[in-house]
Amino acid sequence: MRIDLAEEDGELKTLGSFLKSKRRYIGLSMKKVAEELRIKEKYIKAMERDELDQLPTPAHQKIFVKTYAEFLGIDFEKLKDQFQFEKSKQVAREAAAPQKSSFLPVFAGFVIGAICILAFSVHMSRQGSNSLEAEAPSEGVMAETWSPAALEETLLVEKMTLRLEGKEDSWVQVVADRDTLFNGVLRKETAWECRAEQSFTINVARAWAVVGFVDGEQLLPFGSPGEFAQKRIITKENYPSFLDSSRTK
């Protein structure tokens, strides 16, 4: 069932109160939502309380809110138009109360930083070769997404190859050497590859949902359900320690 914003009764002034009312309208418990989305219950509670600063990173604010809204059958684009979901409940309280002069620079920095992060994510998602919006696979075949760097590289420099495969949808960021090549959602049953001379830095929102390989050898899991894998740094020197020994030949 899809619930449109126009169906909302009464006046719900915050994102959290809106999400909470939709969940209750459908008849779902917070625990059930957390289990279905594989997002910790404390993060579901934070979203409903407009305490988005409790989420791991600013990027998670958009990813988790989008995931939660779509799960409830809400049009995320309409939701963005109606609510400024970067603002937390604390910000709302501060706006209603007398402002302290020392708070203003901090709040301004937070808002500007959040806008920059979202703008950068949108820009990256529009780059054809760097986009994580891979096409859904047909007939059970993995979809492949390649960056221009991978296509144009020569054999003059020995490089490592990283391959990521999506077990379920998950936000992923990959920095190869110093270049961010991947920043968005890796879809279920799709794969993506890139190469680097020295290192990969990997962030995975749903750590269990992504499987990694370096030069064809499978890596240990990035994490367990509910865990956020942050700054997994793989280099030419340390990559053997990341390999899943049970999978090696």
Q: First-to-last CA distance in the chain?
A: 48
- Tens digits of residue pLDDT in 97-114: 554 444 556 566 666 666
- Enumerate long-range contacts of 110-114, CB under 8 Å, 24 or more apart: 111/86, 111/87, 113/58, 114/58, 114/61, 114/86
Fold of the 5-125 domain: 434 Repressor (Amino-terminal Domain) (1.10.260)
Listed residue (191, 185, 226) closest to 211, CA to CA: 191
Q: Spell out the domain ranges in the chain.
A: 5-125, 143-242
- According to the model, what pLDDT value does residue 140 have? 36
Instruction: Specify the higher pLDDT residue, 109 or 15.
Output: 15
Instruction: Specify the higher pLDDT residue, 115 or 249.
Output: 115
| DSSP codes of every residue in 167-202 | SS-EEEEEEETTEEEEEEEEPTTEEEEEEESSEEEE
- Tens digits of residue pLDDT in 172-192: 999 999 889 999 999 999 999
Pairing of strands 199-204, 229-235: antiparallel
CA 89, 26, 78, 184 torsion: positive or negative?
A: positive
Angle 15-26/41-48 helices, nearest 10 degrees? Answer: 120
Express as a percent the part of the chain with pLDDT over 90. 27
